[in-house]
Amino acid sequence: MTDNSTISPIMYKMMPWIAAMAFFMQMLDSSILNTALPAIAQDLHESPLNMQSAVICYALALALFIPISGFLSDKFGSRNIFVFSVLLFSCGSLLCALSSSLLMLDISRVIQGIGGAMMVPVARLVLIKSYRRSEFLAALNTSTIPGLIGPVVGPLLGGYFVESLTWHWIFLINIPIGVIGMITGWKYLPNIKSSRTIFDTSGVTFIALGVISVTLGIEFINQNIKIQFSIALFIIGLFSLLFYIKHAKKTYSPIFPLVLFNIHTFKIGIIGNLISRLGISAAPFLVPLLLQVVFGYSAIYAGLMLMPMAIASFLGKSLVRPILRKFGYRHVLLFNTTFIGLIIMTMALLNQDSPLIFFALLLFLLGATNSLQFTAMNSITLADLPKELTSSGNSLMAVNQQLAISFGIACGAVLVKILRDQNEIIHHNDALAFKFTFLILGILTCLSGLIFRRLNSQDGQNLIN
């Protein structure tokens, strides 16, 4: 166990930026690939419809290894696991770029996903264990800025690489970032360990089966595979969760102790993260599709149109702490979630003749409010965790976020498909399908803000005083 007295001032300054680098790599990779899938399919002599396996393999690797990231960090040391995970992610990226078949690409994506599953949770765990609660918000704030930029610049970079270079560069770009991450991580991250050494094999099996089942169910919905398969997988996931709860009540050291949900702020943060992200995750996914599929813009132009979100994310971060200090977590999360819902609903007004300034203003507001929302939700979730529960609580939050993002994207995609294909009024009118989808998602997001009413006015004060 490394105590805070062994952490130098330069380490305190560097740790949030190392975490930020890992977050950026993961979020960039998850958003840049979709733009290049048709080009990769052509080069590998595959149908573009078969290329979703590359996305699924990565998602499954994340789902399988995120739950054990906290245990591995506790046992082998945070610095060791972080550097190893970045190495795996970088090697997987190189193998992806060298792939000459879909099978090789899928295997490479699994390797990449294993690294990605550990590097962000472990980096965030270092922040939780190294900073005092009053300093943690500022550190988390810094670490999340690049992660918000990744999904915005990802489609732009993907379009540029495909049109101006080759698809291989969407993977090769990770390597220099990874090398910097490994060097700085080894030099500036503390190697924090914990006394928890018992590995909950049964618990991990139940959690992994549940998360993989739900992840596959979501992906099947996105790929138009029969809904019965998705329902069956969701049922398997539900039973896996029930078996885990029964197991966790009896075992001495479960991977995710149920006592976590006795912590008021953690429980509300987890539920709020899951529900509110339905609309919040769907909107950045749907906007590029609207611009390209309905309005006919190029991939690069659509990427440029998303830049106001990136700018707002940067500018908004400096205001997060003052806003939370003035209004408190309860009011900020309640009203900010509602405001995000209203912004998403307003996107239903967009059409091809909308003024550019209207596009830019909406996306700027969405970027600023998302920046505030993610920092506030993540920090309140972890605010009151005792030291012995930080690893498991952080890992569970990472699993929850992964599922929430997948659910949100699937929810947006399915709504557009159903409204376009099944509704007699909207039938085959893509523009109307997107408009009604934005309205539905906006209403759901507004309603999800009510979850945060259960917070007390004093919750999170230890983070902002």
Calculate the dihedral angle through the C-alpha atoms of 118, 123, 128, 133, rounding to the nearest 10 degrees.
-150
Phi, psi of 263 (to 5 degrees): -85, 115
Same domain, 158 and 42: yes
Same domain, 264 and 238: no
| Domain termination site, one of 234, 252, 270 | 252
pLDDT (0 to 100) of residue 284: 74
Q: Write out the two tokens for 118.
A: 């550990």
DSSP string, 380-434: HHHTT--GGGHHHHHHHHHHHHHHHHHHHHHHHHHHHHHHHHT-TTTTT-HHHHH
Which residues are CB-neighbours of 376 under 8 A, at least 6 positions away?
A: 320, 324, 329, 332, 333, 336
Same domain, 170 and 236: no
Same domain, 325 and 409: yes
- Gap between the Cα atoms of 182 and 83, Å rounded: 5
- Gap between the Cα atoms of 138 and 379, Å rounded: 10
pLDDT (0 to 100) of residue 425: 56
Integer Rg of the chain from CA: 21
CB of 1 within 8 A of CB of 192? Answer: yes
Q: Is residue 281 part of a domain?
A: yes
Q: Is residue 38 part of a domain?
A: yes
| Domain termination site, one of 183, 199, 215 | 199
Q: Sign of torsion, CA 294 411 379 63? A: negative
Q: Model's pTM, two decimal places?
A: 0.76
CATH number at residue 112: 1.20.1250.20
Burial of 378 (0-12, 13-18, 19+ CB in 10 A): buried
Same domain, 274 and 236: no
Q: Is residue 380 part of a domain?
A: yes
Same domain, 245 and 277: no
- Gap between the Cα atoms of 112 and 266, Å rounded: 30
Nearest of 161, 176, 129 to residue 35 by alpha carbon: 161
pLDDT (0 to 100) of residue 222: 61
Same domain, 303 and 450: yes
pLDDT (0 to 100) of residue 145: 67
Q: Hey, is 111 helix, strand or coil? A: helix
Same domain, 299 and 187: no
| Domain termination site, one of 218, 252, 286 | 252
Q: Write out the two tokens for 285.
A: 């996914």
Q: Output the tens digit of pLDDT for each of the chain's 465 residues.
A: 444 446 777 877 788 888 888 877 777 776 667 667 667 777 877 765 566 667 777 877 877 788 788 778 878 888 899 999 999 999 999 998 888 888 888 889 889 988 988 888 888 788 877 777 667 667 776 676 666 666 666 666 776 776 777 778 888 888 898 899 899 889 888 887 776 667 778 888 888 888 788 877 776 766 656 677 878 888 888 898 899 888 888 887 787 888 888 888 888 989 988 888 888 878 777 777 787 777 777 766 766 777 787 778 777 777 888 888 888 888 999 999 999 999 999 988 888 777 888 888 888 898 888 888 888 888 888 878 887 777 778 778 877 877 787 778 777 877 887 777 665 555 667 778 888 889 999 999 999 888 888 888 887 777 766
Q: Is residue 2 part of a domain?
A: no
Q: What angle do CA 464, 451, 344 make, to 5 degrees?
A: 95
Same domain, 195 and 230: no
Same domain, 286 and 207: no
Structurally, how many domains does the chain consist of? 3
Q: Is residue 91 part of a domain?
A: yes
pLDDT (0 to 100) of residue 295: 78
Q: Is residue 3 part of a domain?
A: no
Same domain, 345 and 315: yes
- Gap between the Cα atoms of 73 and 119, Å rounded: 10
Which residues are CB-neighbours of 224 under 8 A, at least 6 positions away?
A: 417
pLDDT (0 to 100) of residue 336: 92
Q: Is residue 269 part of a domain?
A: yes
Domain boundaries, position 127: 8-199
Residue 458 DSSP one-character state: T
Distance between terminal CA atoms of the chain? 28
Same domain, 235 and 324: no
Q: What angle do CA 165, 169, 173 make, to 5 degrees?
A: 135
pLDDT (0 to 100) of residue 340: 92
**Amino acid letter for position 427:** H
Q: Is residue 263 part of a domain?
A: yes
